[in-house]
Amino acid sequence: MKEFFKAILDFNLNRLFREKTTNIFIQFFRYIFVGGFAFLADAFTLWLCEKWMNYMIAAAIAFVVGLAVNYALSIWFVFSESSKVKNKVKEFVVYGIIGLIGLLITEGIMYLFTDVFGLYFLISKIIAAAIVLVWNFAARKVVLYK
């Protein structure tokens, strides 16, 4: 944690964003940015698809788009240590299974907040995204990366 706060206080952007690291705090910090980009891809796709189909189906399609963006950026930008799974196809499958669990959490939260509590579906999506961000990072870190 010291390393992370030192990089923040020194405004060491190279350490925070570019250098390879196994520091979990720096990785989570980066994962928030990756998650932000993936969320934007996901939310935009949701907004676009919802015009032509049910919001729950649109959310599933949007989630797949977000998952692909998240995977690509995470292996390039967040997790510098090698994967426990050596085959990239298997790695993506495991990554996707963790993401699928995240999708189920997302769908449940969106149903609860939109259909039960009456919130606007994009507000429900924001709440779900915050919860699923933590789930995805922790699960992927433990299951896939050393």
What are the residues facing 83 on neighbouring strands? 145
145 φ/ψ angles, rounded to the nearest 5 degrees? -115, 140
Rounded to two decimals, the pTM is: 0.74
DSSP assignment string, 62-104: HHHHHHHHHHHHIIIII--SPBS--SHHHHHHHHHHHHHHHHH
Percentage of residues in the chain with pLDDT exceeding 90? 41
Query: pLDDT tens digit string along 33-88?
Result: 998 899 899 999 999 998 999 988 998 899 889 888 999 998 888 887 677 888 88
